[in-house]
Structure 1
Amino acid sequence: MAANRVGRRLGRGSPVRSLGSPRAEPARSPGIQRRQARVTVKYDRRELQRRLDTEQWIDGRLEELYRGREAEIPDEVNIDELLELETDEARAAQLQGILKSCHSNTQAFVQELLRKLQGLQKQQALRQPSPDIQEQA
C-alpha cells in the first residue's frame, strides 16, 4: 500500500533516526501540498485490462485484414455498441456491416471477436462508486 511505502522512508536505515534525533519533518515548499496516501479505485483493473487487450487485438487483426488498403480500415469498432446488442447474430451482422469494404474473408475475425466479447462489460458498468460516496450513503 502506498501509505506503508511512504512510512518506510524514515525506517531503520534512515539517517534521521540513526542520529538519535526526534523524527524531523522534511522542509516543504509553501506551494506544495502533501499528497493523500489513500487512492480511490474507480475501475476494475482486470476488466479494463481485458478490454484494452481486446481493443489491441481488434486493431492488429484489422491491419492484417486490410493490409495494403489501410485507408479503408473502419474508423472504429465500438465494443460498447456491440455489447448493447442482444444476440451474437445481431453483433455478427453489425460487424459484417462495419467490415463491408474488406475484400478478405472476415468470418474468422467476427467469430473470434464474438468469443472475446463474452464476459466483457459495458464501459459504464466498469465504474465503481468511490468509497467516500459509499460511506456518506
Structure 2
Amino acid sequence: MAAQRLGKRVLSKLQGSSRARGPGGSPGGLQKRHARVTVKYDRRELQQRLDVEKWIDGHLEELYRGREADMPDEVNIDELLELESEEERSRKIQGLLKSCTKPTEDFVQELLVKLRGLHKQPGARKLSPSADGSLSPFQDRAL
C-alpha cells in the first residue's frame, strides 16, 4: 500500500511538471513536430524483390561454396531488368558467374523466370549521400 501511495505521488509530480512546460513537453506550449518518411512503393512488390534477392544470395553461396572469394560482389536486379531481352539477361548473368566451376544453367534459368515478375524500381540508381544534404531517390519528405 505504501508503494502505491509513493507511485501516485511520483506520477502526480511528473504530470505536474509536464503541464508547466505546455503541450508537447516543450517550453512555451509549442508542440514539437515529428518528421515522417513516406513509402511510395508497393509493399507486395518490394517483398517479391526481397525474396528474389535472398534466393540469389542463397544460390550463389551454394554455387561458390569453398570459393567465396570468387563470388560476384553483386547481381544487380535493376541492371538485369533494364536489358531488352532474356538472351541479354542470360549473357549478363553468365558473365557474372564466369568464375564458377559448378554448372550454372539451372540457376540462370530460374533467375530469368523470377525476373519476369519484377519491375524496375523508378529512380533506382545508387547515389552516395551528397555534401549539399540533398535526398536520394529513395527518400521522401512529408510536407
Partner of 1:83: 81
- Partners of 2:79 and 2:24 lie apart in 1 by 52
- TM-score, scaled to structure 1: 0.66
Structure possessing the higher relative contact order (Cα contacts under 8 Å, 6 or more residues apart):
1
Aligned residue number for residue 11 of structure 2: none
Distance 1:32 1:71 in 2: 54
- Deviant stretches of 4+, over 3 Å: 24-27, 29-32, 38-41
Once the two structures are TM-superposed, the CA of residue 124 in structure 1 deviates from its matched residue by 1.2
The DSSP-based 3-state class of the residue aligned with 1:50 is: helix
CA distance 1:39–1:69, shift in 2 (3 Å):
closer
Q: Which has the larger radius of gyration?
A: 2
How much has 1:89 moved relative to structure 2? 1.0
For residue 33 of structure 1, what is the aligned residue in structure 2? 32
- 1:53 partner amino acid: D
For 2:49, give the aligned amino acid. R
Unaligned ranges ≥5, structure 1: 1-23
CA distance in structure 2 between the partners assigned to 1:50 and 1:33 by the alignment: 37
Counterpart residue number, 2:69: 71
Letter in 2 for 1:98: L
1:55 is the counterpart of 2:53: yes
User: What TM-score, normalized to structure 2?
Assistant: 0.63
Native 8 Å contact 2:24 2:32 kept in 1? no
Distance in 2 separating the partners of 1:40 and 1:77: 27
Give the residue type in structure 1 aligned to 2:42: D
Report deviation, 1:35.
Answer: 3.5
Q: Report the CA distance shift for 1:26/1:33 in structure 2 as closer, same or farther (over 3 A).
A: closer
How much has 1:47 moved relative to structure 2? 0.8
Of residues 72, 86, 99, the one that matches 2:97 is 99
Please list the CA deviations of residues 59-91 of structure 1 after superposition, one character each: whole Å capped at 9, or x if unmatched.
110000000001111011110110011111111
Shift of residue 26, structure 1, vs aligned partner:
6.0
Structure 1 pair 66–33 and aligned structure 2 pair: CA distance change class (3 A): same
